[in-house]
């Protein structure tokens, strides 16, 4: 097996005295793992950071063998790690992809959305420019992995007007009239999450509550101590930043 492609680094684990096992997301060939000889060196460590774009060549004798990976830098986001919010967002977004996507299966929409999100973080490390995009990214990951939410029409009436809540059990929108008396049992639905457009901070926090509920329930139920811990830290930072 030999594959050469640009890819986004999503996970790095040091291995042995000198190497590293790297997982990177390609657009056409999905998530690809590989062993980087010398991955712990001072030259390679800045290249193999989550969120970086690399040009990788994977080689293996068989499909079952862990491929060797030669990685060259294409775009680095190392400077963003000096910004706590930006670093937290990169850590969480890449951890989500690494934890949930099966290997070697293409998810071009997720690849493109992750690339766009990382670009937005780079353009505005203070979070105002990318926090809404993060919520939309999470929504896309849920959808492409088979757990999409229906936020465009009321799950009870089929109507598309005055959608104000989400059922935490069914993952469907609920109109304001249907929700009367049950509001505390439902998740508030910010309009931008379904319809796009601008979002203020209360809407962004509400959107992250919606996507976080379904990520924890449907995709990360068996991995709470890992990726979700990174998400919890990020959301706490965001809330403190806008308090």
CB 214 within 8 A of CB 147: yes
Give yes or no for residue 243 having a pLDDT over 70. no
The token pair at 188 is 């508030």
CA angle 164, 242, 230 (to 5 degrees): 85
Return the CATH number of the domain spanning residue range 2-76. 2.40.50.140
CB atoms within 10 A of CB 180: 8
Rounded to whole angstroms, the Cα distance separating 102 from 98 reads 8
C-alpha distances in angstroms, 42 versus 77, 79, 178, 180, 200?
A: 16, 16, 59, 60, 41
The total number of residues written for the chain in this structure: 243
Domains 2-76 and 79-242 belong to one CATH topology: no
Rounded to whole angstroms, the Cα distance separating 219 from 228 reads 10
Tens digits of residue pLDDT in 161-174 = 999 999 999 999 99
Return the CATH number of the domain spanning residue range 79-242. 1.20.1440.120
Q: What is the pLDDT of residue 223?
A: 63
Tens digits of residue pLDDT in 40-90 = 999 999 999 999 999 999 999 987 889 999 999 999 999 999 999 999 999
Q: State the average pLDDT over residues 104-126.
A: 94
Query: If you write DSSP's letter for every residue of 171-204 in order, what string do you get?
Result: -EEEEHHHHTT-GGGSEE--HHHHH-S---HHHH
Q: Structural domain boundaries of the chain? A: 2-76, 79-242
């Amino acid at each position: 097996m030999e594959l050469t492609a640009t890819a986004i680094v999503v996970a790095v684990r040091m291995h042995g005295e000198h190497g590293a096992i790297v997982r990177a997301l390609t657009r056409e060939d999905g998530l690809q793992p590989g062993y980087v000889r010398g991955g712990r060196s001072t030259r390679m460590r800045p290249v193999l950071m989550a969120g970086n774009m690399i040009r990788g060549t994977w080689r293996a004798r068989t499909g079952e063998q862990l491929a060797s990976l030669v990685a060259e830098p294409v775009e680095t986001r190392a400077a963003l790690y000096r910004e706590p919010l930006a670093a937290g967002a990169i850590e969480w977004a890449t951890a989500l992809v690494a934890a949930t996507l099966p290997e070697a299966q293409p998810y071009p929409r997720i690849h493109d959305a992750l690339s766009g999100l990382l670009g937005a973080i780079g353009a505005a490390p203070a979070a105002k420019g990318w926090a809404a995009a993060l919520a939309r990214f999470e929504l896309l990951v849920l959808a492409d992995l088979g757990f999409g939410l229906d936020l465009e029409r009321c799950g009870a009436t089929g109507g598309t007007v005055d959608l104000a809540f989400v059922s935490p059990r069914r993952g469907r929108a609920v109109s304001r009239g249907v929700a009367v008396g049950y509001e505390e049992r439902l998740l508030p639905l910010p309009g931008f999450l379904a319809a796009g457009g601008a979002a203020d901070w209360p809407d962004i926090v509400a959107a992250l509550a919606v996507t976080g509920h379904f990520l924890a329930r449907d995709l990360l139920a068996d991995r709470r101590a890992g990726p979700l811990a990174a998400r919890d830290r990020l959301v706490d930072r965001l809330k403190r930043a806008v308090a």
